[in-house]
Amino acid sequence: MSLIAGIVGKQRDWHAAGNTRRVEDRIRRLDLLKEAVKARERQVMDALRIDLGKSEREAYMTEIGIVYEEIRFIRKRLRKWAKPVKVKTAMTHIGSGGYIVSEPYGTVLIVAPFNYPFQLALSPLVGAIAAGNTAVLKPSELTPRVAAVLREIVEAVFPPEYVATVEGGVEASKELLEQPFDYIFFTGSVPVGKVVMEAAAKRLVPVTLELGGKSPCIVHRDADVKLAAKRIVFGKFMNAGQTCIAPDYVYVHRDRKAALLEELRAAISAFYGPRPIESEELGKIVNERHFDRLVGLLGGAEAVIGGDYDRESLKIAPTVLDHADWSLPVMGEEIFGPLLPMLEYSELDEVIAEVNARPKPLALYMFTRDKAAENRVIESIPFGGGCVNDTLMHIATPYLPFGGVGSSGIGSYHGIYSFRTFSHQKSVLKQTVRFDFPFRYPSAKNGLAIL
Q: How far is CA 54 from the centre of its chain?
A: 19
As measured in angstroms, the least distance from the Cβ of 215 to ligand NAD is 9
Asked if 170 interacts with ligand NAD (CB under 6 A), we say yes
Asked if 169 interacts with ligand NAD (CB under 6 A), we say yes
As measured in angstroms, the least distance from the Cβ of 396 to ligand NAD is 13
Angle at the Cα of 358 (from 352 to 361), degrees rounded to 5?
80
For residues 417 and 180, give the distance between their C-alpha atoms in angstroms, rounded to a whole number. 24
| 387 in active site | no
As measured in angstroms, the least distance from the Cβ of 108 to ligand NAD is 15
Q: What is the dihedral of CA 372, 249, 330, 354, to 10 degrees?
A: 0
Asked if 211 interacts with ligand NAD (CB under 6 A), we say yes
Nearest to 276 by CA among 344, 358, 340, 181: 340
For residues 141 and 166, give the distance between their C-alpha atoms in angstroms, rounded to a whole number. 10
Contact pick of 106, 113, 338, 341 for ligand NAD (by CB under 6 A):
113
Residue from 58, 161, 217, 244 carrying the catalytic annotation: 244
**Is residue 69 within 8 Å of residue 193, measured between CB atoms?**
no
**Is residue 118 within 8 Å of residue 89, measured between CB atoms?**
no
Binding mask 237-256 for ligand NAD (x = CB under 6 A): -------x------------
For residues 27 and 23, give the distance between their C-alpha atoms in angstroms, rounded to a whole number. 6
For residues 318 and 304, give the distance between their C-alpha atoms in angstroms, rounded to a whole number. 11
**Is residue 231 within 8 Å of residue 390, measured between CB atoms?**
yes
Residue from 58, 70, 161, 210 carrying the catalytic annotation: 210
| 244 in active site | yes
Stretch that binds ligand NAD, among 47-55, 207-215, 268-276, 352-360 (CB under 6 A): 207-215
Asked if 140 interacts with ligand NAD (CB under 6 A), we say yes
For residues 103 and 108, give the distance between their C-alpha atoms in angstroms, rounded to a whole number. 13
Contact pick of 362, 366, 373, 392 for ligand NAD (by CB under 6 A):
362
Contact pick of 19, 43, 189, 389 for ligand NAD (by CB under 6 A):
189
Report the amino acid identity of residue 445.
K
Asked if 175 interacts with ligand NAD (CB under 6 A), we say no
- How many amino acids of this chain bind ligand NAD (CB under 6 A)? 29
Residues that bind ligand NAD (CB under 6 A): 111-115, 120, 138, 140-141, 169-170, 173-174, 177, 187-189, 192, 195-196, 210-212, 244, 334, 336, 362, 404, 409
Catalytic sites, residue numbers: 210, 244
